[in-house]
Chains A and B, each alone.
Chain A
């Protein structure tokens, strides 16, 4: 293949990637109902594969217990569709059906939520108050004051592994994670400096 052709192909691929929506999932009443009707018993069987990494405290994979079912379902769909990239998760999610995803989401959402040690305050002030000078809304207005997450699919943060929270914010900031609709988390994380990212990750991991 000639170099010019290769270049055109590369440009086309880049254009497609740019034009692709951040997620293929839309929270229509049908999808919401479908996720709600997930069967936890079947999810429990499937979850045995997941727990090898996700339930291990020393593994960077995030804790899933008590996470919002909508969030878990969308992440699995996004991994499968390539909207969110991770070599392990892309491979594992590719064999899951929509029903499997709803079942897994239902199982994990029904488990007792991961909880932090408590007794922690946010040194950045961003979690509770945001920073109007940077057009930065507070984390709490979407993720709730207790960090428990909110509908439709704003995830639970409190008690999550510190490393995972830090990696997520860093990935959003760097633009390597792109499955946030209308760049909302990319814009928010992009305004945080590395120290604030560390502090917020630490705060939410300890929050009860």
Chain B
């Protein structure tokens, strides 16, 4: 088979670039000791509603903070929304989000904050963050999850710490 000399040169350039990029990935993961996640927390997504932690009446902002004062929020991502649909948290306080999905891969993202992670079926995702500014924020899904993906959002209200009251109970209807 005849290949034009110029075309051949460009092929070598392209192959060289691929080799360089793959090499850079191998070098970085080796030199910086990067591994796939291990010791991850697993959960059965199919029976999430029957689980202890993500039962329907256990979701939302937890009335009792953790021993170190962090506030805990449990959310379930399911097509198409984050449950409970509306939550209220205080500004300037460390908040631990624990998230799980009932069905497919979802992402969670609160614009203008650093709250963002992927929610993978079969695993619990945990993120700790602080919301410095009070206001109303959307909680968006940023991994395409189906036809209703663009409708998958819930509401997060961040209020001034002195006006925030801990909820008395948990649950989807919070």
A residues with a Cβ closer than 8 A to B are 18-19, 21-24, 26-29, 130, 132, 135-138, 140-142, 181-184, 187
- Chain B residues with Cβ under 8 A from A26's Cβ? 44, 46-47, 49-50
On whether A28 and B44 interact (CB within 8 A), knowing A141-B146, A182-B56, the answer reads: yes
**A136 to B153 Cα, complex, angstroms:** 10
Instruction: Please tell me if B81 contacts chain A, counting CB pairs below 8 Å.
Output: yes
B147 touches A21 (CB 8 A): no
Known contacts A18-B57, A140-B147: A181-B102 contact under CB 8 Å: yes
A residues within 8 A CB of B72?
none
The distance from the CB of B140 to the nearest CB of chain A, in whole angstroms, is 12
Q: Given A141-B80, A182-B78, A183-B172, A22–B49 Cβ distance below 8 Å?
A: yes
27 cross-chain CB contacts under 8 A? A18-B171, A21-B49, A22-B49, A22-B56, A23-B49, A26-B44, A26-B46, A28-B47, A130-B151, A132-B151, A135-B81, A135-B153, A135-B154, A135-B155, A136-B151, A137-B80, A137-B151, A138-B151, A141-B79, A141-B80, A181-B56, A181-B102, A182-B59, A182-B78, A182-B83, A182-B102, A184-B81
As a 0/1 sequence over residues 67 to 88 of chain B, the CB contacts with chain A under 8 angstroms (1 = contact) are 0000000001011110101000
- Asked if A182 meets B148 with Cβ closer than 8 Å, knowing A21-B55, A28-B46, A142-B80, the reply is no
Q: Which of B44, B56, B173 contacts A21 (CB under 8 A)?
A: B56
Residues of A within 8 A of B102 (CB): 181-182
Q: Which residue of B lies closest to A32 (CB)?
A: B46
Q: Which residues of B contact A29 (CB under 8 A)?
A: 46
| Contact residues, B114-169 vs A (CB, 8 A) | 146-148, 151-155
Number of A-B pairs, beta carbon distance below 8 Å? 70
- Do the beta carbons of B44 and A142 come within 8 Å of each other? no
Tell me, rounded to whole Å, the shortest Cβ–Cβ distance linking A197 to chain B: 20
Question: Which residues of B are found within 8 Å of A141, using beta-carbon distances?
Answer: 79-80, 146-148, 151
CA distance A22 to B79 in the complex (A): 17
Question: B146: shortest Cβ distance to chain A, in Å?
Answer: 7
**Residues of the A chain whose Cβ atoms lie less than 8 Å from the Cβ of B79:** 141-142
Name A145's closest neighbour in chain B (CB-CB): B147
Q: Judge whether A182 and B151 touch: CB under 8 Å.
A: no
Min Cβ gap B49→A in Å is 5
Bound together, the chains give a CA A202 to CA B154 distance in angstroms of 29
Distance between A147 CB and nearest chain B CB, rounded to angstroms: 14
> Which chain A residues lie closer than 8 Å to B152 at the CB level?
137
Docked Cα-Cα span, A205 to B93, in Å, equals 50
Q: Which residues of B contact A142 (CB under 8 A)?
A: 79-80, 148
For B172, give the chain A residue with the smallest CB separation. Answer: A183
A182 touches B154 (CB 8 A): no
